[in-house]
Chain A
Amino acid sequence: MKHLLTSTLCSLLLGAPAMAEFFWEDHYLIEDITLPADIDPQIGGLDMNEDGDIVACFHRGQVMTYDTSADKWSLFAEGLHEPLGIYAEKGGTVVVVQRPEITRLHDTDGDGKADFYETVCDDWGVSGNYHEFTFGLEKDSKGNFYIALGTASNGSGVRDEIRGEWNDAGGLTHDRFKYNNAIEEQSWASKKKGTARMYARVPYRGCVLKVSPGNRKAEVYATGVRTPNGLYVDEHDQLWVSDNQGDWVGASKVHRIVEGGFHGHAASLLWDPKNPVTDAVPASIPPAELNKRRTKAPFLLPQGDCGNSITQMTALQPEFSNGTAGNNLIVGEMNHSHLSACLPDTVKGEVQGAVYHHLKTSTIGAGNNRLLYSPDNKSLYIGKTHLSWPGREGIKKVTYKGKPFLVADRVQLTETGFDITFNAPITDIGAISDYLIESYVIAYYAGYGSPKNELRTDGITKVEAKGNVLSITLDKLEAGRVYDIRLPSSITSDLSDIAATRYWYTAHQILD
């Protein structure tokens, strides 16, 4: 009754035709987790240890353990430098990644507090630029760790003392970037002209690193990331990395990392192990040339509409999502009150696919930085942060209530349009006039973000449902576009009305 009332009210206010509405909170319980007292509650990483306790690292360097059944926090370690990733190992050790190193925390005397902070790997540069975050931490089935190094921002300079050898390719010397350059006596605002927007002048910034067991030496696993605040190794040991919109990143994106691959952001090409840029400012290389080297991201999340600052990914577990397919991902979002689901499709051997907003409801809130499932996969813990940007604090626990709802499992490109496969037969597809598909090109260039280039409304010639599959036929399809597919909220099934009506499909490839 409440919902009927609300939708009636909406139609009265907006003068729109009465439509059914889907409410995520009919299907999910969203709760706040008790926070430890006297701690800045910004979460840098979440994991679960073998006892089923949550281990979390915090903005101000603490690592704490949360006994979920007793609702009790205890301090495990402290004093770390902006830890942004955590991995709880068998046997009680906890590995964290902080700005300068990967650290293994041991509780050797068993009193519940770490007493040995072991340096596992510190083989990368630190210029002191504020934007050089160190993100992670993921481990594959062979015990290799993966981290990703953020690039420096020309919103500011670097320190006089740095770790790692400065790379002055293209004539950009360390002196030019110093915060305090008494000789030139220029403000940073004037000095930054001529530097690239995001830069990577100390080793391996903008790269994904692999650290093998027992090896202090890091290996450059891939290049081309900007602010990669999300890593995920799936059950096939495939590494996924998210990146945030900015220079060379026309829209926030989810990368499927290829070993040795260049993933688009130019700055890190200074550190390509096989073919480094040695004689130029990478940002000055023509985009067309860089594009030939580039591995494109399967999922683009256009700014504002779909994603702003995306964060960690994990599997979209069927026990949580009520879906049926197993290869989908769910990714966090800093600026908006939702998470995003990524549905992979493979076209001509290239992985690409669609994104929709899962749990788009104001109760979720913004700042969704880290994701962790409960052991039964029915609950998702969301660790929040803001780091003085937009965001929130604390931890939300989101639990699927078990009441089924209509959700898309797959969006597949066909020769003529899109097939959207749901988890139940569609009983009403709505009116074709209520469907809207727009498409546009996201630019690849040194500028910040991308407008919707070559924006157009695509002609929809046919919509039909066969069982669980909704087929949309377009008058034409073109490769290299993002298709913003808007479905009517009147689509319904025996389970429920449709949960998500908007899908962004990245069509790098089309079928001939």
Chain B
Amino acid sequence: MSRTLLTLLAVVSSASAAAKKDQPAPQAFETNCKACHLTDRALVGPHFVHIQEHYPLSKRSEFLEWCRNPGKRNPNMPQMPSMAHIPEAELIEIHNYILNTEVKRVKKTSNKDLFPDTKRPRVVRSFWRNTAPTSILIALPTAEKLNVVWDSEACRLRYISQGEADNFPYLRSNGNSESNPGKIIYTENQTFGTDAQPVFKGYRIDKDGFPTFLYTIDGQEITEQISSSGESVVRTFTGTTPAFSVTAADDTSVAVSTTSNTITYSLK
């Protein structure tokens, strides 16, 4: 019993010592702010030092206004939700708490991708740059790191890019920034020779990891495989291909050759 009492007293005294050193966070902060705002490093929102600099005591009213009607400052961070449900007295309490919290050192947060994917071939859907938001990137197993971006709405190749394709900009910003396909080295316009809209049916992935897209135009089923042969990109078609033509951009480092059922793209 005396041992229990001793333990109790020890806990009580250390708890009160801690309370003197660090002011307790107001309940409204715990409930509404803590999940995103840390004292010493940026998490979902900015850290305390950043807020202290932006909203010193002299800018109390700006702080209150931001809480009630927040905007978006950093394009790579999510927008703060409004805190209009918190009464003014409690917002002031939160502001005081942030201003009175001493932060010794701000820790740097890393923007590094912890899960980079560089496998080739691979098929990745994302918001890729310079194309429809429903496009698919195929990273091909070429030494030159060639990628095809294929539009699943128009059912056609949009461009070929070179370099490591990176969808981390998209992931980091939750889709606000576009994924980086590498350097776009070739774009093309394609017409199917009909006004009918293609209907995308999906894709198969073969044992080598190459996709074959399935779609119909005017009820005709078409398959289109995207693969590589050496350092060339190859599109191979089956089915009753409607007469279609491709027009490459003028200034391009890619040579295009066709057969009855293939289009081959090679670096010049």
A residues at B contact (CB < 8 Å): 5, 8-9, 12-13, 38-40, 59-61, 78-82, 98-101, 103, 114-119, 122, 126-128, 130-131, 153, 155-156, 159, 161-163, 188-189, 216, 245-246, 302-305, 308, 335-336, 366, 386-390, 447-452
**CB within 8 Å of A: which of B60-93?**
69, 71-72, 75, 77-79, 81-82, 84-87
Contact B125 A100 (CB under 8 A): yes
Q: List 28 A-B contacts (CB under 8 A).
A: A9-B12, A60-B117, A99-B175, A103-B202, A115-B206, A116-B203, A116-B205, A119-B200, A119-B201, A122-B134, A126-B133, A126-B134, A127-B133, A130-B174, A131-B175, A159-B133, A161-B132, A162-B132, A189-B72, A304-B85, A305-B31, A387-B174, A388-B44, A448-B69, A449-B81, A449-B85, A451-B84, A451-B85
- A188–B177 CA distance with the chains assembled, in angstroms: 14
Enumerate chain B residues within 8 angstroms of A387, measured Cβ to Cβ.
Answer: 174
Enumerate chain A residues within 8 angstroms of B267, measured Cβ to Cβ.
Answer: none
B159 lies within 8 A of chain A by Cβ: no
Q: Which residue of B lies closest to A391 (CB)?
A: B35
Q: Which residue of A lies closest to B131 (CB)?
A: A161
Q: Which residue of B lies closest to A334 (CB)?
A: B35
Smallest CB-CB A-B distances: 5 pairs: A390-B35, A130-B175, A155-B79, A81-B125, A448-B82
Interface size on B, residues (CB 8 A): 56
Q: Which residue of A lies closest to B37 (CB)?
A: A390
- A130–B77 CA distance with the chains assembled, in angstroms: 11
Q: Besides the contacts A161-B133, A390-B35, A447-B84, what 13 more A-B pairs have beta carbons closer than 8 Å?
A: A9-B12, A38-B115, A61-B125, A115-B206, A118-B202, A119-B201, A155-B79, A156-B72, A189-B72, A304-B31, A389-B174, A448-B81, A450-B85
Contact A156 B176 (CB under 8 A): yes
B11 lies within 8 A of chain A by Cβ: yes
Q: Which residue of A lies closest to B79 (CB)?
A: A155
Tell which of B117, B125, B133, B136 has the most Cβ of chain A within 10 Å. Answer: B133
Q: Which residue of B lies closest to A120 (CB)?
A: B202
B41 lies within 8 A of chain A by Cβ: no
- Interface of A, secondary structure class, is loop
- A13–B114 CA distance with the chains assembled, in angstroms: 43
- A79–B135 CA distance with the chains assembled, in angstroms: 12
Interface string of B210-223 (1 = CB under 8 A from A): 00000000000000
B145 lies within 8 A of chain A by Cβ: no
Contact A60 B115 (CB under 8 A): yes
Enumerate chain A residues within 8 angstroms of B28, measured Cβ to Cβ.
Answer: 304
B185 lies within 8 A of chain A by Cβ: no
- A122–B133 CA distance with the chains assembled, in angstroms: 13
Shortest beta-carbon distance, B199 to chain A, in Å? 8
B36 lies within 8 A of chain A by Cβ: yes
Enumerate chain A residues within 8 angstroms of B132, measured Cβ to Cβ.
Answer: 161-163
Shortest beta-carbon distance, A172 to chain B, in Å? 19
* CB contact under 8 A between A163 and B125, given known A60-B171, A119-B201: no
Shortest beta-carbon distance, B183 to chain A, in Å? 19
Enumerate chain B residues within 8 angstroms of A9, measured Cβ to Cβ.
Answer: 8, 11-12
Contact B202 A448 (CB under 8 A): no
Contact A81 B201 (CB under 8 A): no
Shortest beta-carbon distance, A197 to chain B, in Å? 9
- A118–B203 CA distance with the chains assembled, in angstroms: 6
- A156–B74 CA distance with the chains assembled, in angstroms: 11
* CB contact under 8 A between A78 and B122, given known A122-B134, A452-B85: yes
Shortest beta-carbon distance, A417 to chain B, in Å? 26
B100 lies within 8 A of chain A by Cβ: no
Shortest beta-carbon distance, A438 to chain B, in Å? 14
B240 lies within 8 A of chain A by Cβ: no
Enumerate chain B residues within 8 angstroms of A78, measured Cβ to Cβ.
Answer: 122-123
* CB contact under 8 A between A163 and B134, given known A12-B8, A100-B125: yes
B264 lies within 8 A of chain A by Cβ: no
Enumerate chain B residues within 8 angstroms of A40, measured Cβ to Cβ.
Answer: 114-115, 171
* CB contact under 8 A between A366 and B35, given known A13-B15, A82-B175, A161-B133: yes
Interface string of B4-15 (1 = CB under 8 A from A): 100010011001
Interface string of B140-152 (1 = CB under 8 A from A): 0000000000001
Enumerate chain B residues within 8 angstroms of A216, measured Cβ to Cβ.
Answer: 199
- A374–B171 CA distance with the chains assembled, in angstroms: 31
Q: Which residue of A lies closest to B16 (CB)?
A: A13
Q: Which residue of A lies closest to B119 (CB)?
A: A78
Contact A163 B133 (CB under 8 A): yes
Shortest beta-carbon distance, A107 to chain B, in Å? 11
Contact B79 A116 (CB under 8 A): no
Q: Which residue of A lies closest to B211 (CB)?
A: A117
